Amino acid sequence: MSFAEYRDTIKDGDTAIVFLGHESMFPVKVQHGSVTQTKYGVIRHSTDLIGKKYGSKVTCSKGGWVFILHPTPELWTLNLPHRTQILYSTDISIITMMLELKPGSIVCESGTGSGSLSHALIRTVAPTGHLYTVEFHQQRAEKAREEFREHGVEHLVTVTNQDVCKNGFGVSNIADAVFLDIPSPWEAIGHAKSALKAEGGRICSFSPCIEQVQRTCLAMEECGFTEINTLEILLRVYNVRTISLQIPDLGKAAEDNSSTGFDSSNPSNQGSPCANLQQGTVQFKSGVPLREMVGHTGYLTFATKS
């Protein structure tokens, strides 16, 4: 099993996603002889998972059922163990596009954190690219190495435990892109410039506060970066549901029906809005925004090495 290379069959040692619903899923490490408890009952790895195809519908011991999904960076972002605040798909998608990443790209990242963006970057640059990720915290760096190894992508990533602001990324003049998610990104701009290829490399800095953005932009300008711009991505989700509204009294409905040739006895007209006039209500589909929505996550500052 690999987050960058997909296969059909579940094997011992794989990481799989147990899908109970869009708002309820969790990762599980498949092991021979192990069991997983769900609200629908027990899943036995040896008989219910190993050898089955990803996407299979598995019946639990209480008669309920779940789907077993192949892990992807998108699903991992929703299910990973949080060691730090993470980036979600909304920001990850624009970062991947604006950094112009593709298979074969060389990317430098700091810091690794919980590995949400790291998995997406690895999947994007595979199979011939490479990610160099730097994490200041030793335990988080070791845990990231362990996860990359379990997820079958260790050959596509190098994890380094050091302070990027003092020691850089450990590579020079090879990166197509650099991503910074650290408290003081302006202190690492010089190292980012050294890691990037001779010209045309792209850099992105993620910061939650506008004061961080201001200092980072000044540092980018001093280091000769061009095309500096900052943007913010906000996500607004809509629920589609059926709405019933009362019909206002605009006159005699019967006369209107006769003048337009409407025949209420015709079965084909029973589902039309006019058929509901006598009941006084009409139903239609409407998109309604959520009462609460995710607001500001951070500012994304992009620039190009000239």
* Angstrom distance (rounded) from CA 10 to CA 47: 11
Residues belonging to the binding site are 114-117, 135, 163, 181
18 and 127 co-located in one domain: no
pLDDT of 123 higher than 90:
yes
Domain around 301: 75-230+295-305
pLDDT per residue over 269-292, tens digit each?
555 544 444 457 888 898 888 888
- Residue the block writes with tokens 């845990």: 143
Would 237 be classed as within a structural domain?
Answer: no
Distance (Å) of CA 212 to CA 38, 124, 300: 44, 28, 11
Mean pLDDT of 120-135: 97
Would 266 be classed as within a structural domain?
Answer: no
Would 262 be classed as within a structural domain?
Answer: no
Would 276 be classed as within a structural domain?
Answer: no
Which is higher by pLDDT, 270 or 136? 136
160 and 16 co-located in one domain: no
* Angstrom distance (rounded) from CA 223 to CA 191: 10
Residue 98 CB neighbours (<10 A)? 15
Beta bridge partners of 225: 305
Instruction: Write down which residue in 20, 51, 71 finishes a domain.
Output: 71
pLDDT per residue over 48-70, tens digit each?
999 999 999 999 999 889 999 99
pLDDT of 219 higher than 70:
yes
Looking at residue 93, what is its pLDDT? 96
Please give the share of the chain, as a percent, with pLDDT higher than 70: 90
* Angstrom distance (rounded) from CA 244 to CA 280: 10
Give the CATH number, domain containing residue 92: 3.40.50.150
Q: Where are the strands (E) in the chain, listed by range?
A: 15-21, 24-29, 35-38, 41-44, 57-59, 65-69, 106-110, 130-135, 157-161, 177-180, 202-207, 225-231, 238-246, 281-289, 299-305
Mean pLDDT of the chain: 90
Residues belonging to the binding site for S-adenosyl-L-methionine are 114-117, 135, 163, 181
84 and 165 co-located in one domain: yes
Give the CATH number, domain containing residue 51: 3.10.330.20
125 and 47 co-located in one domain: no
Number of compact structural domains in the chain: 2
- Residue the block writes with tokens 């500001």: 296
Would 187 be classed as within a structural domain?
Answer: yes
Would 191 be classed as within a structural domain?
Answer: yes
